[in-house]
Amino acid sequence: MTADTSANDAGIGHSSRPRLRLVYDGECPMCRHYVRRQRIRQEVGELELIDAREDSDARRELTQLGIDLDQGFALQIGERWYHGSEALHRLTLLGTRSGIFNRLMYRLFASQGRTARLYPMLKACRNGLLRVLRKTPIGNLRRR
């Protein structure tokens, strides 16, 4: 797959750089490590990283849309939000293939089907790690 095909598959046009935002759990070591290591191709644009545990426009928007951030991170490309395994798959297509980490992520998550099969295991590992660390859920959908 060429870089151009990957960009198109990820829902990105060539004429402009869409808004890219990733809302992730900033208290999850696994999540923090992933977002620090993930590299987006330069021609795609800049990825804004947003901690889901902090108040932000993105968190409020996702809550209004009914997207549960305890069930996975969310990626915005342009005006559209992707959640969970779909967000991971799209983010992978936007990423570079440089470095061992990014090549491995591409091999694992470039296939939407494989990503959907692996994501529940990743989510279970994250939830287990948060329990061990005694971290509370994000709870963006809890009624106040």
Judged by DSSP in three states, 136 sits in: coil
- Residues in CB range of 142: below 8 A, 6 or more apart: none
Structure confidence by residue, pLDDT tens digits, 44-58 = 888 999 999 999 999
What is the pairing mode between strands 74-77 and 80-83? antiparallel
Alpha-carbon torsion angle 128, 30, 96, 14, nearest 10? 70
Structure confidence by residue, pLDDT tens digits, 17-75 = 788 999 999 999 999 999 988 888 888 888 999 999 999 999 999 999 999 999 999 99
Single out the residue of 62, 34, 79 nearest to residue 138, CA to CA. 62
pLDDT band with cut points at 50, 70 and 90 for residue 87: very high
Amino acid 143: pLDDT: 67
Q: Crossing angle for the helix pair 99-109 and 112-132, nearest 10 degrees?
A: 120
Amino acid 34: pLDDT: 92
Q: Is the pLDDT of residue 122 over 70?
A: yes
Distances (CA, A) of 110 to 7, 15, 26, 95, 96: 12, 23, 24, 10, 12
For the chain, counts of helices (H) and of strands (E)? 6, 4
Paired tokens of 61: 């928007």
Paired tokens of 4: 């151009």
